[in-house]
Amino acid sequence: MGREDSVSNGLITTATLACVAVLAMASVLLGWQKGRGGGRVQALIYEFQHRCALPLHLLRKISEAMTLEMTAGLTTESGSSMPMLPTFVEKMPTGNEKGVYYAVDLGGTNFRVLRVLLGGREKRVMKQEFEEVAIPHPLMVGTSVELYDFIAKKLTDFVSRESSEFSTHAAAGARELGLTFSFPISQHSINSGLLIMWTKGFKIADGVGQDVVQALQQAMNRQHGPKLRVAALVNDTVGTMAGGRYFDPDVMIGIILGTGTNACYFERADNVHKLQNGKPLPKTGSMVYNMEWGAFWSSHIPTTHVDEQLDAESINPGQQLYEKMIGGMYLGDIVRRMLLKLAREASLFSGEVPQQLMTPFVLGTPEVSKMHADESIDLRVVAKTLAKIGIHRTDLHTRRAVHDVCDIVTLRSARLAAAGITGILRKIGRDGKNGEYTRTVIAMDGGLYEHYAKFRIYIHAALTELLGEEAVKYVVVEIFKDGSGIGATLLAACHSQHG
C-alpha cells in the first residue's frame, strides 16, 4: 500500500468512526423517540423555538416600532400602545440634598418602607433603614381601603420608631415622603395622580380612578400617627433613575426588569404635543416620561398559542402584552404552559400529565433561572427543581427538553427588552447612528436582570447586535438595587416644602 492509500485509508477510518458515532447517537435518540414520543417532543420544541425566534431583522423592526410608538404617545392621548405619562419630575437630585426623608415603595410582590439621612454633597446618604414585607395575596385583590390601611399602618409604625440619630437632623413639622407606586398613574402634579389600572396580579376594582396620594393620606389620618406629607409620587422607573442620577450624572434612562417591566427617560418638552387633562404641558425644559412600556405592542413581536392562553387567563386580558413576554411574573408561567403542552401532546413525562403543572404560577422565574443555569452532565438541578414541584424521576431527555424550553422563553424575553432599550436610545439620539458616541447610563433595577445571569448575557448580546460593537461600548447598564426607594426619598427632598 502506498502512502496515499494509507492516508485515504486513515481518512476512511476516521470518517467511518464518525458515522458510526452519529448512527449510534441517532439510534439512541430514535429508541427514545420511538418508545417515548421523543420525536414529537423535539418537533414541538423546534416549532416553539421557531415561533419565538427573533432574528436581527425582526429585532430591528421591533426597536423601530418602539421609537415610533414613543413619538405617537407624546403626540396624542391614545395614539400609541404606550401611554407615555408625564411625571412632573423636571429636576433630578444633585447631591446637595440634606435632611431626613421617608419612602414607601409599593411595586411587585414586596412592599418597603425606608428612611434616609441625607448629608449633602460631601456626606451623601449618611444613614438608611428599611423594612420589607411581602404583600399578602388577599390584599392584592381586595379593596383599596384594606390596601392603603395596610401601607399606612406599616409606615406609621416605622416612622414612630425613628431614632434620635435621624430625628436630630429632621426639619420641624411633618416628615416628608416619596411614594413609589409602580403602576400606571395619570399625574396632575409631582404629588397627585389617578391610578389608571393595576398590573402584575393586583386587581382592586375600587382603586382605579382614585388619587393614590389622597387615598394614602386618608389612610394615614385613620392611623392618627405622626404627621407625614407626600412630597413626590413616583413610578419605580423614575425612582431608580433619580437614585442612579444621584451617583452618576450620565444616567438618562431608568428601567425595571423585575416582576413587571417598564422604562422612563428625560424628554424635551418641545417634543411633546399632547394635552394633559385638556391643558398643554409646559413647552420649556424637559421632563421625565414614564413610558409604561409594558403596554407596548408591535405586529412584529412573535407570539405563540401559549402566550395567547396566558393572556386570556390573566386578570388583565389584552393588556400589558410586552410585559407578559418579558416580566419575571410571567416567564415561569410561559415555561409551565409549554411543559404542560409537551406532556399532553408528546408524553414528555413518561406519558403522565403531572397534576402540578396545571397550577398557574407553580413554576416561578427564579426556578427557571436555576434550571437554565444548570451545566451538569446529568442536569441534576433541573431534576431537583422539577422534583420540588412534585415531578419526580425524570430522565435526561426530559430534563434536556425542559432546559431547552427555559432557554427559548428567556432568550425571547431578553431580546425583546434589548429591542425596547435600543428604541429609547434611538429616540434620544444615543444609539450612535449619527456618528456621535456619548456615554449613556441606564439605571436598572429588578430581580430578573439582577439574578438571572443568562438573561443578562442575552440582553447584552442583543444590544451588541443592534447597536454594533462600537456604540454598545458607550451604553452602560448599572444596577441600582432597590434604587427606586432611595430615589423616591431624593425626589421628596428635591420637592420638599422645607426648601
* Span of 28-36, 109-117, 124-132, 231-239 interacting with ligand BGC by CB under 6 A: 231-239
Pairwise CA distance, residues 477 & 255, whole Å: 9
* Span of 140-148, 207-215, 254-262, 343-351 interacting with ligand BGC by CB under 6 A: 254-262
First to last CA, the chain: 97
Task: Return the residue of 73, 86, 260, 432 that touches ligand BGC, per CB under 6 A.
Answer: 260
Pairwise CA distance, residues 16 & 21, whole Å: 9
Q: Looking at beta carbons only, is 256 or 492 nearer to ligand BGC?
A: 256
Asked if residue 482 binds ligand BGC (CB under 6 A), the reply is no
Asked if residue 487 binds ligand BGC (CB under 6 A), the reply is no
Could you write out the DSSP letters of every residue in 101-157?
EEEEEE-SSEEEEEEEEEEHHHH-EEEEEEEEEEPPHHHHTS-HHHHHHHHHHHHHH
* Span of 61-69, 234-242, 276-284, 311-319 interacting with ligand BGC by CB under 6 A: 234-242
Asked if residue 211 binds ligand BGC (CB under 6 A), the reply is no
Task: State the DSSP H helix or E strand holding residue 262, giving kind and residue range, or none if neither.
Answer: strand 261-268
Which one of 80, 182, 347, 413 is the catalytic residue?
182
Q: Which residues pair with 243 in a beta bridge?
A: none
How near is the Cβ of 198 to ligand BGC at its closest, in Å?
8
Degrees (nearest 5) of the Cα angle 188, 192, 197? 85
Which one of 36, 112, 412, 415 is the catalytic residue?
112
Asked if residue 262 binds ligand BGC (CB under 6 A), the reply is yes
Residues 218, 223, 229, 230, CA torsion sign: negative
Contact in structure between 117 and 100 (CB atoms under 8 Å): yes
Which one of 105, 149, 211, 236 is the catalytic residue?
236
Active site residue 144: no
Active site residue 182: yes
Q: Looking at beta carbons only, is 236 or 404 nearer to ligand BGC?
A: 236
Task: Return the residue of 63, 156, 191, 199 that touches ligand BGC, per CB under 6 A.
Answer: 199
Grouping H, G, I as helix, E, B as strand and the rest as coil, residue 479 is strand
Contact in structure between 265 and 289 (CB atoms under 8 Å): yes
Q: Looking at beta carbons only, is 196 or 353 nearer to ligand BGC?
A: 196
Asked if residue 323 binds ligand BGC (CB under 6 A), the reply is yes
Specify the residue for cell string 405622626.
226
Asked if residue 81 binds ligand BGC (CB under 6 A), the reply is no
Grouping H, G, I as helix, E, B as strand and the rest as coil, residue 201 is coil
| Grid cell for residue 200 | 402584575
Task: Return the residue of 184, 193, 244, 447 that touches ligand BGC, per CB under 6 A.
Answer: 184
Asked if residue 294 binds ligand BGC (CB under 6 A), the reply is yes
Residues with a known catalytic role: 112, 182, 236
Contact residues: ligand BGC, CB under 6 A? 107-108, 182-184, 199-200, 235-237, 256, 258, 260-262, 292, 294, 323
